[in-house]
Structure 1
Amino acid sequence: MTEFPVQVSARRDEAEGVFSLELAAPDGRKLPSWTPGAHIDVAVGAAGLRQYSLCGDPVVTDRWRIAVLHEPAGRGGSQHLHRTALPGSVLRVSPPRNNFELVERESYVFVAGGIGITPIMAMVAAADAAGARWSLYYGGRSRGHMAFADELATTYPAARLLPQDQHGLLPIADILAEHSDAVAYCCGPEPLLAAVEAEGARHGIPVHLERFVPRPMEFAPNGSFEVRLASSGRTFRVGANQSIADVLERAGIGIVTSCREGTCGTCETAVLTGDIDHRDSLLTAAEQDRGDTMMLCVSRARSDLLVLDL
């Protein structure tokens, strides 16, 4: 990962268990530009890297904002930031990367659940600024668990904030039936994503999703295969109980991983030769069918050999 330092200029509690960090360059310079849906990798000590969506305004060039869901029983990333990311502290981050691009359309329906509001916020701002028609439906366990709820209600009075303890689950079937002329963007827990995906298909609505955890899938039993690095010709055997990322890391090959679940795209690598067994939750079906890139942390080979552009 190409890293550079940013300084925490402000920290704020945004909801129960959620805090935001405002980040700026230590020397006051402009930060790299970004587009709605983008995220950054953040170094979180011994826990490695974690991805956080940029949820500020892309027009603002001297600071970024991210929101962190504090999960004490998680893998350690949010715990590290909760403890160490204080005003004045310095974080190491990557330039923004976007696997959840906002396509230009006349009409959008945005659906968010819980911390999934973070990438959606910038999309709503961009759609509103472009004069597009849009609707936002945002659900959470309760109003107190919904980050940025007051900010959204003040800035966008038409946004529908529907906490579950008052309104029940988001009525996805009704929402997409009402917005059959729109393109849908959704981020949140898997049951919400699955519902939006299913109803989108039912109504012929294009659906764009961002997942925090892998899509539930079933795979054939693992087999062993070889990977070859195009730059050096070195070949490695990947066993049934190993990932490509594991094997290459143990061999001292400089690859970068983060989620280890096929959701973030950090380890995406070009494939020059071979048949890929895609097991990620990020690439579209069309991208997987092209067979020219793969996630080294989870995807495997159907052929005996993969040649990687490494």
Structure 2
Amino acid sequence: MRARITELDAIIDALSTRASVDSDRRRVVTNYASKARWELAEAQRSLLVSRPGRRRAAHLGVAQAHMDAALNLMVWMASAEDIKAMLPQMVALVEEHFAPSDPRRVRVTDIARGMQHNADRKLRPSERAFLAETVGLARKLLWNERLRVRSFVRIVATVTVGLTIAAAAVAVITVVWEALVPLCFTPEFEGGFNVVCPTASEVVVPDPPSEPLTSGMIAGVAQAGDYLVIEIVGVLSAAIASAAALRRIRGTSMPYNVPVVLALLKLPLGALTAVLGLLLMRGGFIPGLSALDSTAQIIAWAIVFGYSQQLFTKYVDHQGQALLDSVRGPGSRAADSPDLR
């Protein structure tokens, strides 16, 4: 972005030099050029942070806003010949953000077609004002699209932090009070019960054997790290799902890491879905799958439930990709371009 600012500064010098000999622009060129240079200086200043790693999206957004203002001032400052050179880029920007039937797009196209067909045609002041305002509005629309992406990233990041805190709280609580809700299964085994937990298992025979298995007996087998192990397995499984999902998400040149925040969202959610899925199985919610008889089976189901978070986050992935696609660029037009010939 700094290279672009330097380039625009040089372009302003060239435009002001040519505009100074233009009879229509020589009286206003100094004022517009100084204001455009001030905007570029502000853009440069917004990028001056103590460390490059701390240059966040907000700084880049402010810099882009100042650069857009400088570009708009260049339209007011430029000579008629320079405006002709800028017209293809202006038309492309307007086409990206306005529908074909929009009167603003139609008029910009008419102005460009008229100046292309008639080399001696002069640009009227009203046409210059219209071009400057319409192109400026197109840049604002582009900026609004980027703001929507930025808001989406913040929402996903906030939810990710909340889920991470929830997963950490579950791990801490169950480490301190391991018998609070034992994550264990109790299939019958040789006149007793095989109490199977994620990190330990033990055959328990009630005394007398006809007595049912009590929660205290189950709690005696449960270990402090049961939930923590399941959450770690869920995170690892979600990480694999996240890596697989990234292949469907295209990158972006914007300073907002949409693919990264979407990938991070899956990790704490995988930890929680692994725990909640096993709790549902332990409660008999899934018929026929409430009597796991080995720790390996528990870990295997934790992998399945950790990966299953993709069933929920795929909709968030689709929304993120839709927002990225909505930020139009040179390859994304609102509709087919009209023929300027």
| Fold agreement, TM-score > 0.5 | no
Q: Which has the higher contact order (CA 8 A, sep 6+)?
A: 2
Name the TM tier (shorter chain). under 0.3
Q: Which is greater in Rg? A: 2
The structure with the largest strand share of the pair is 1
User: What TM-score does the superposition give when structure 1 sets the normalisation length?
Assistant: 0.21
User: What TM-score does the superposition give when structure 2 sets the normalisation length?
Assistant: 0.20
